[in-house]
Structure 1
Amino acid sequence: MKRVAVLNVGGDCPGLNAVIRALIVKGAEEDIEVVGVYDGFLGLVEDKLTILAKEHVSGKLPEGGIILGSSKYDPTVNPNDLKKLKNNFERYQITSLILLTGHTGANIALKLANEGIPSIIIPATVDNDLYWTDLSVGFLTALQIVTDALDKLHSTASAGHRVIVVETGGDEAGWLATIGGMAGGADYIIVPEFKLDPKDMIENIKRRYSAGRRFSIVVVEEKVKLPEEVQNIIGDPKVRQYMKPAELITEYIKANLQNVECRTVDLDYLQRGGTPSSFDRYLAFKFGVSAIDAVKKGKSNVALGLDGFDVVEKPFTHEILKNKEISRELYEMGRLFF
């Protein structure tokens, strides 16, 4: 009997329990045992594993998070931990690791492959920034959360005639901010891929107020690099270094539009939680089944991805660490509505 060990490396996202469910069900059909590892690679080092059965995921399909927990822990940093991981991998006679992850786990997977520890990656991140796949598990649910938040913020922004600056996730890619901003009717979108023109943003808000639309929703991606003009709105660099991009944008707007009330809303971990959407569950099932199929065929060290509606396999190379950025065409489509 073959045996796989499943673990979540990096941040959690909606749909992870659905992946585990698919692994268990398909594994039972193919006589492949599924072992759950608690708290990412830390659990594999500290011997925190359990054999998974259907009862472990019964009723968990609509739940966010993950029954196994997660962490960003990298076992390759400490030689002693790497040795413990290798020992447990052999001790439990694991055929392959199944990593539910984004760039964090992909980076570790490459290093472990060189150490003789095989794995299969299932793309799972709200950021949707993995270049080898059209969609990642969790992204569409997070996208809906961003859209719903903007829908709700419109009413209070309009009622109070205020500007609300909303910070989304995305790591270093603008997928959540751009598509969520478009779907939620944002009046300005700021992403890492394209440099912000602060004066254009201010003029955009002024035009709206002059036209009688006395409110604005500005969406900012969490890791956007802001121009010095915006950063220097906070003179003390010690204070500035702890401020998020949305907070700096808010202060800049306040300084340049004295008669306009401006507030900041950080969606932060809200985007990671909640009930996974129907399509994220479908993706979870599709990737889980495909991972077991790959193990059955003796495949390893591949990253599973979605090409249209088909699952494809990307062999491990350093290319899987590349960042999938939004295109100019997509961003310009968003600008049509500014």
Structure 2
Amino acid sequence: MKRIGVLNVGGDCPGLNAVIRALIVKGAHEDVEIVGVYDGFMGLVEDKMSILAKEHVSGRLPEGGFVLGSSKYDPTANPDDLKKLKDNFSKYQITSLILLTGHTGTNIALKLADEGIPSVIIPATIDNDLNWTDLSIGYLTALQTVSDALDRLHSTASAGHRVIVVEVGGDESGWLAIIGGMVGGADYIITPEVEFVPTQLIDNIKRRYDIGRRFSLVVVEEKVKLPEEIKNIVKDPKIRSYMRPSELVAEYINENFENIECRTVNLDYLQRAGTPTSFDRYLAFKFGFSAIEAVKKGKTNIALGLKGFDVVETPYNKEILKNKEVDIEIYKMAELFF
């Protein structure tokens, strides 16, 4: 019997419990035992693991979060912890680790592979910024959260004649900002893939007010690099260092309009929460089954990805650490609605 250890490394996302369910069901069919590792790699270091059965995930399918917990801890940063991890990996006779993760876990997986600890990656991140897969588990649910939030904010922005600056996730890619902003009816989108020209934002808002559209929704990606003109709107560098990009953009808007009320909304952890969409659950099942099949065949040190509707395998290499940016043509689609 083969035995795999499953863990979430990095931030949680909707659909993780569905992956566990798929691993347990497929594992039982293929005579593969599933070991749940609690709180990311901390569980392997601190010996916090348990054999999982169907009852552990009964009723969990529609839940967000993750029944095993998660963390970003990197065991390769501490030689003593790395040794403990190796000892527990050997003690429990684990064949391979299954990592539900984005860039954080991918980076660790490559380092552990060099240390003789094999793994298989299932892409799970709301950022959808992994270059070996079209979609990651959790992205579509987070995208729906962004779209729903913008739908709701339209009414209050319109009623109060406000500008509302909405900050969304994405790490350093605009998959949530651009597509979420477009389908949610954003009036301007600020994202890492496109140079931000502050005067264009101001002109856009002014034009809307001049034609009677006395409100605007501005979407800002969480790690966008803002020009000095925006950052320097707050003179105190200490205060500025604590401000979110959305807050700096809002300050800039307030400075350029006397009679327009500007407010901010940061969707933050709301994007990681909630019931996974149907397709995120389907992805979870598809990736979970494929991971079991790969381990059963002796395949490890691979990243599973979706290309079209097919699961593909990418061997570990430095290229998979690169960021997947949004095609500029998608932004141009969104821009036509500004």
What TM-score, normalized by structure 2, do the two folds share? 1.00
User: What is the alpha-carbon distance in structure 2 between the residues aligned to residue 328 and residue 316 of structure 1?
Assistant: 28
User: What is the alpha-carbon distance in structure 1 between the residues aligned to residue 263 and residue 103 of structure 2?
Assistant: 32
Q: How does 1:292-303 map to 2 (within 5 A)?
A: 292-303=292-303
User: What is the alpha-carbon distance in structure 1 between the residues aligned to residue 98 and residue 87 of structure 2?
Assistant: 18
User: What is the alpha-carbon distance in structure 2 between the residues aligned to residue 258 and residue 22 of structure 1?
Assistant: 56
User: What is the alpha-carbon distance in structure 2 between the residues aligned to residue 69 and residue 314 of structure 1?
Assistant: 27
Q: Is 1:73 aligned to residue 73 of structure 2?
A: yes
User: What is the alpha-carbon distance in structure 2 between the residues aligned to residue 62 and residue 270 of structure 1?
Assistant: 16
**Offset at 1:21?**
0.3
Query: Secondary structure of 1:226's partner?
Result: coil
User: What is the alpha-carbon distance in structure 2 between the residues aligned to residue 258 and residue 325 of structure 1?
Assistant: 36
User: What is the alpha-carbon distance in structure 1 between the residues aligned to residue 96 and residue 276 of structure 2?
Assistant: 27
1:268 alignment counterpart: 268
Counterpart amino acid of residue 252 in structure 2: Y
2:176 alignment counterpart: 176
1:108 alignment counterpart: 108
2:16 alignment counterpart: 16
User: What is the alpha-carbon distance in structure 1 between the residues aligned to residue 161 and residue 59 of structure 2?
Assistant: 44
1:319 alignment counterpart: 319
Query: Secondary structure of 2:8's partner?
Result: strand
Q: How does 1:154-173 map to 2 (within 5 A)?
A: 154-173=154-173
**Offset at 1:50?**
0.4
Gaps of 5+ in 2: none
1:109-166 Cα shifts (integer Å, max 9, x gaps): 0000000000000000000000000000000000000000000000000000000000
2:131 alignment counterpart: 131
**Offset at 1:195?**
1.2
Q: How does 1:8-157 map to 2 (within 5 A)?
A: 8-157=8-157
User: What is the alpha-carbon distance in structure 2 between the residues aligned to residue 192 and residue 223 of structure 1?
Assistant: 7
User: What is the alpha-carbon distance in structure 2 between the residues aligned to residue 336 and residue 50 of structure 1?
Assistant: 53
**Offset at 1:91?**
0.2
Aligned residues: 338
Query: Secondary structure of 1:157's partner?
Result: helix
Q: Is 1:208 aligned to residue 208 of structure 2?
A: yes
User: What is the alpha-carbon distance in structure 2 between the residues aligned to residue 179 and residue 31 of structure 1?
Assistant: 41
Counterpart amino acid of residue 248 in structure 1: L
1:244 alignment counterpart: 244
1:75-109 Cα shifts (integer Å, max 9, x gaps): 00000000000000000000000000000000000
**Offset at 1:44?**
0.5
2:227 alignment counterpart: 227
CA root-mean-square deviation: 0.3
User: What is the alpha-carbon distance in structure 1 between the residues aligned to residue 240 and residue 313 of structure 2?
Assistant: 43
4+ residue stretches of structure 1 with deviation over 4 A? none
2:330 alignment counterpart: 330
Query: Secondary structure of 2:77's partner?
Result: coil
**Offset at 1:258?**
1.4
1:189 alignment counterpart: 189
**Offset at 1:194?**
1.2
User: What is the alpha-carbon distance in structure 1 between the residues aligned to residue 41 and residue 191 of structure 2?
Assistant: 32
User: What is the alpha-carbon distance in structure 2 between the residues aligned to residue 194 and residue 336 of structure 1?
Assistant: 14
Counterpart amino acid of residue 251 in structure 1: E
Query: Secondary structure of 1:76's partner?
Result: helix
**Offset at 1:328?**
1.2
User: What is the alpha-carbon distance in structure 2 between the residues aligned to residue 141 and residue 150 of structure 1?
Assistant: 14
Share of identical aligned residues, percent?
Answer: 78
**Offset at 1:183?**
0.6
User: What is the alpha-carbon distance in structure 2 between the residues aligned to residue 137 and residue 115 of structure 1?
Assistant: 28
1:281-306 Cα shifts (integer Å, max 9, x gaps): 00000000000000010000000000
User: What is the alpha-carbon distance in structure 2 between the residues aligned to residue 181 and residue 212 of structure 1?
Assistant: 22
User: What is the alpha-carbon distance in structure 1 between the residues aligned to residue 299 and residue 258 of structure 2?
Assistant: 61
User: What is the alpha-carbon distance in structure 2 between the residues aligned to residue 110 and residue 222 of structure 1?
Assistant: 27
1:27-60 Cα shifts (integer Å, max 9, x gaps): 0000000000000000100000000000000000
**Offset at 1:327?**
1.3
User: What is the alpha-carbon distance in structure 1 between the residues aligned to residue 152 and residue 265 of structure 2?
Assistant: 12
Counterpart amino acid of residue 115 in structure 1: E
**Offset at 1:244?**
0.6
User: What is the alpha-carbon distance in structure 2 between the residues aligned to residue 97 and residue 179 of structure 1?
Assistant: 33
1:299-334 Cα shifts (integer Å, max 9, x gaps): 000000000000000000011101000111111111
**Offset at 1:216?**
0.1
Query: Secondary structure of 2:75's partner?
Result: coil
Gaps of 5+ in 1: none
User: What is the alpha-carbon distance in structure 1 between the residues aligned to residue 256 and residue 195 of structure 2?
Assistant: 19
